Structure 1
Amino acid sequence: MHIVWNPGVTLVWDASTDDRGVVGYELFESGTKLRTVAETSYVYSTTNALPPKLYEFGVRAIDAAGNVSPFDFVGLGTQWSATAAPSAPSSLQVSGLTAEALTLSWQASTRIPYSEAPVAGYEVSVDGSVVARVGGTSARLRTPTGMGFHTLSVRAFNAVDLFSPAAQTQFIIT
């Protein structure tokens, strides 16, 4: 995503692709949802001067199934510190377990301290292999095959690709 001055501020990003079809984009400013749009641009301000503050804009795609992509961020008036990763996700839970699929959910990570780059999404692994990158706090996954213990892990990443420690949970297939 990038910013265009014309006068004011227009946010512009590349179109996303998805196997279920992208139906829109959610736009955020400093953590507050502005709106959902179908286009790949949004006019944020129609004046030449924005109020003096630090702006953090985020956009994420939504597909026809309601899944959201990781965020893409751009800052205006600030540079994020790139020294600290987000906190680890917590409270991993497995639900909806069938022979074909399961849902893994968790509590959101936070940036520490607030001046650090914002959390952009989560990387999900099954038995050490990355299987998904998501923007929300859950992922629908294929159930691992084979008897024995299986490890599910999630780690957060921020807008400058620093990763949190992984949160893990295990289950056994007998």
Structure 2
Amino acid sequence: MAYRYRPIPAWGGCAVRRVLVGVCCGSLLALAACGPGGQDDGRGGRPPPAPAGVTAAAGSATTVHVMWNRPGGDAGITGYEVYRGTTRVARVPGAEHMVDVTGLRPSTRYTFTVRARNADGDLGPAGGPVRATTPAAVAADGAAPTRPGRPHARAAGSRAVQLSWGRSTDDLGVASYDILQGGTKIHSVGGAQTAAVVTGLRPGTRYSFTVRARDAADNVSRASAAVRLTTPRDADGGRGTAPTAPTGFRAGSHRADGAYYLDLSWDPPRADGVITEYQIRLDGRPATSLMWGGKAPRGRATYSFYTGRESGVTHRVRLRARLPDGTWGAFSAERTVTTGRRDRPAES
């Protein structure tokens, strides 16, 4: 089917670049940094298990960072719902396992629970509950904490890393520390801690971590120097995971409303979680990022995007997935497509 783009503004704190308008098998595809979860369809299928390892830590006087463990294997989870007391405050895609709850009151104790949702829309039991107290509000605080000291890292098996770093200082106190992997926040701990364990990693994979300090007024320090390490391979000498590139990648083109579109289809790589984001490269350059705002396909995926109005233009295209541990997987095989010409690519 034909698709078209329309620009939309950011909403809910999510930077949304554009939305792909079109319905395929009843799902809306969205190019966005986040999106709403689905509603319970009441079909009464077997619900997913309760999320394990739920934690909550105040990030500032008005925010709390809620985090939980990823399930092992294929648990069929497509999303999570986070509750403050009995009020749902966030929906999180199945490939993620944390959220910052904002708009809270200073000096207040909150209780949080997390529930998982499966592909049938069934909600599982709540994990937790966990509690966190926001610190007191700070008036007219414009000074950020000092930069954390250089972190140190030690592998804790093939799928976890122990991090430690030098303490930051702040005129009114450090409320929390953010841990970033490759520039993406993946964890948060209280301001009294200077160590953390990062889990859900892949064996035989190189990672880079930095740390930022945050005060009660949400002032954020500069990121620390980076620490890099490679997780050990599994005992059998392998990475312990399936290849990370999408397979069965095919590319063709079609014409609609006087313009040409590339039509892509592929099978997602196997991973410990649902893959919701892909990066597409066209002619050797990043073309767009694709994220499913609703239910991400667990089987074969399809996508079409605009390339121009000229016939006879040859394009090279490939794509890769952002894996549940935050790293990018390997690129698919590259396909060549000429607009206006029937394409017959070989399977990868």
* TM-score of the aligned structures, taking structure 1 as reference length: 0.53
What is the rounded CA distance, in whole Å, between the counterparts of 2:107 and 2:203 in structure 1?
Answer: 46
Question: Aligned match of 2:141 in 70, 81, 85?
Answer: 81
1:152 aligns with 2:209: yes
- Taking a change above 3 Å as real, the CA distance of residues 16 and 95 of structure 1, as seen in their structure-2 partners, is farther
Kindly provide the amino acid, as one letter, of the partner of residue 73 in structure 1.
P
What corresponds to 1:140 in structure 2?
A: 197
- What RMSD in Å do the two structures reach over aligned CA positions? 3.0
Distance 2:107 2:185 in 1: 29
Alignment-derived partner of residue 104 in structure 1? 163
Deviations 1:41-77 (CA, angstroms, capped at 9, x unpaired): xxxxxxxxxxxxxxxxxxxx3xxxxxxxxx72225xx
For residue 177 of structure 2, the aligned residue among 87, 99, 122 is 122
The 1:12/1:160 distance shift into structure 2, 3 A limit, reads closer
> Is 90-99 or 138-147 further displaced after alignment?
138-147
Say if 1:150 and 1:12 are closer, same or farther in 2 by CA, change over 3 A: closer
Shift of 1:90: 0.8
Structure of higher RCO (CA pairs closer than 8 Å, 6+ residues apart)? 1
**Aligned mate of 2:218, from 161, 167, 170:** 161
1:146 Cα deviation from its structure 2 partner: 6.7
Pairing 1:92–2:187 present? no
CA distance in 2, matches of 1:161, 1:13: 16
Contact 2:108 2:135 in 1 (8 A): no
> Percentage identity across aligned positions?
24
Closer, same or farther in 2 for the Cα pair 1:17/1:104, shift >3 Å?
same
Residue equivalent to 1:5: none
How many residues were matched structurally? 113
**Residue 72 of structure 1, aligned match among 134, 147, 152:** 134
Q: In structure 1, what is the equivalent of residue 321 of structure 2?
A: none
CA contact (8 A) 2:158 2:203 kept: no
Separation (CA, whole Å) in 1 of partners of 2:223 and 2:208 = 11
Measure the CA separation in 1 of the matches of 2:129 and 2:175.
21
**Bigger shift: residues 141-150 or 164-173:** 141-150
Cα separation, partners in 2 of 1:87 and 1:142, compared to 1, 3 Å:
same
Q: Distance in 1 between matches of 2:218 and 2:144?
A: 8
**What does 1:14-93 align with in structure 2 at a 5 Å threshold?**
14-17=109-112, 19-22=127-130, 61=132, 72-75=134-137, 79-82=139-142, 84-93=143-152
1:92, 1:16 → 2: CA distance? 31
CA contact (8 A) 1:97 1:143 kept: no
Displacement of 1:81 in angstroms is 2.3
Query: Following the alignment from structure 2 to structure 1, what is the Cα–Cα distance between the partners of residues 197 and 220?
Result: 21
Counterpart of 1:17 in 2: which secondary structure? strand
Q: State how far apart, in whole Å, the 2-side matches of 1:171 and 1:154 are.
A: 15
Q: What's the TM-score, normalizing by structure 2?
A: 0.29
- Structure 2 gap ranges (5+): 1-60, 63-105, 114-126, 233-348
Instruction: Point out the structure with max Rg over C-alpha.
Output: 2
Of Structure 1 and Structure 2, the greater strand share is in: 1
Task: Give the distance between the partners of 2:180 and 2:154, measured in 1 at CA.
Answer: 16
